[in-house]
Amino acid sequence: MNNRVIRVDQLARVEGEGSLIVKVSDGKVSDVKLRIFEPPRFFEAFLRGRKFTEAPDITARICGICPVAYQMSSVMAMEDAMGLTVDDGIRRLRRLLYCGEWIESHILHIYMLHAPDFLGYEDALLLAKDKPEVVANALRMKKIGNDVMCVVGGREIHPINVCVGGFYRVPRREELQPLLDPLKWGLDQAIATAKLVSTFEFPDFEMDYEFVSLRHPEEYPLMGGRIVTSSGLDISIREYEFHFEERHVPHSNALHGLERGHGRYQVGPLARFNLNFDRLSSLARQVASDVKIAPTVRNPFKSIIVRAIEAVYAYEEAIRIIEEYEPPPLASHPLTPSAGIGCGASEAPRGMLYHRYRVADDGSIRDAKIVPPTAQNQPTIEEDVRSFVGKFGGLPREELTWKCEQAVRNYDPCISCATHFVRLEEA
């Protein structure tokens, strides 16, 4: 077992790009490389010359799981470029749409992708065979997120109702009301989910992370606010690129996100939870206390518990927004294009998503920069795998390979699929 290679062949069918390779030589980890497929590069080029109004719908196509994140970061960047602050009612409605996405994405990840790891099932299908009621329940929980997206966003995948300046159409009160009972049911289920996943067995594994997330004066972060880090940085979104950079690494087409003068960092549920615990609702904080999880969580495997707490928050926040809802006076603010540079950031389910656009006088996009959460987490994922194999290298081959996949899945990367195609080879 002194020399071996753990290879996770991701997306073999996409020209072989993307994989996880861990090399162990003389009992020590000599190399960890995570290669990921990263669509935003193409989209950045594709956006050049398009109208500023097209950015939300085009970038929403980058991801089938988190289109709202792409839409929200892009509309906020465009509105920043044009000096527009949207009406509070529009902002609340956007937040509701975002809750729908968090519900969908977190429940999908918890039950379909992550829980099978902890329960010893190869995948959710085998889990469904043994516990059909658990999976059927999870699908129902997730569908509530779809329904929120459908009512607010126009449809559940790639919402079509979001525009720079607001929405094409805002829902009437009575359109949102039918969501309340299912959301209340979902909230109870999310609390039960947090309790369930907190009973899982977690490896004894902690890392010293630099956490990075948005922070809002009053809310648990979904959109906007400032960017904060666990080492004390507190900057405006416009200052992001002064403090964070993306570097090419020889082994990957994807760029690695790094904090200048600091190095790798982590975005996502653990970062949000650790840096914004005081912004969670009292119920979400109570559930966290009941399941005995509190900041600072440094065990990445426990991200499944934090996702469940965030799901509690998302159901509750959606209920609150709907109960207080009054349609905003205007569906959207009229906008005349003007030249400018704008930045926007929001919290995709898997972490902070940053957009920057330069727009010309005629409203055409001159250039675009999109920094997705998975690119930012990539160096941290590699370090987790390196440390995990260093600590647990003595585990049987099959178990270690599985745990390495799981270490990648902790981050719910857009490539979590990949980790199902694993081979462990002798070096």
Partner 1 sequence: MNGVSASAPSLLIGVGNEFRNDDALGILVAREIRRRHIPGVAVVERSGEGTALMDTWGGAALIIIVDAIFPAKSPGEIHRLDAVQEEIPRGFFHYSSHTFGVAEAVAMARQLGSLPQKLILYGIEGKEFGEGVGLSDPVLRSIPALIAMIEEDLHALHAV
Q: Where does this chain bind partner 1 (CB under 8 A)? A: 10-15, 39, 41-43, 46, 61, 64-65, 108, 112-113, 123-125, 128-129, 132, 135-136, 139, 142-143, 146-147, 150-151, 154-158, 416-418, 420
Q: Which residues does residue 370 pair with via DSSP β-bridges, in sequence order?
A: 355
Residue closer to partner 1 by CB (options 182, 340) is 182
Q: Which residues of 61-75 are buried (b: 16+ CB within 10 A; e: fewer)?
A: ebbebbbbbbbbbbb
CB of 24 within 8 A of CB of 393? yes
Torsion of the alpha carbons at 36, 37, 38 and 43, rounded to the nearest 10 = 170
Which residue's CB is nearer to partner 1, number 179 or number 345? 179
Q: Measured from the CB atom, is 39 or 203 closer to partner 1? A: 39
Phi–psi pair at 219, nearest 5 degrees: -100, 155
Residues 347, 213 contacting (CB under 8 angstroms): yes
Contact present, 217 and 225 (Cβ < 8 Å): yes
Q: Decide the pairing of beta strands 19-25 and 244-249.
A: unpaired
Residue 91 or 420 having the CB closest to partner 1: 420
CB of 148 closer than 8 Å to CB of 99: yes
Burial of 323 (0-12, 13-18, 19+ CB in 10 A): exposed
269 to each of 205, 277, 398, how far by Cα in Å? 17, 11, 28
Dist CA 412 CA 268 (whole Å): 9
Dist. CA 414–CA 416, nearest whole Å = 6
In 82-205, alpha helices (H):
88-107, 115-119, 124-130, 132-153, 173-176, 180-198
Paired residues of 269 in beta bridges: none
DSSP bridge pairs for 7: 21, 423
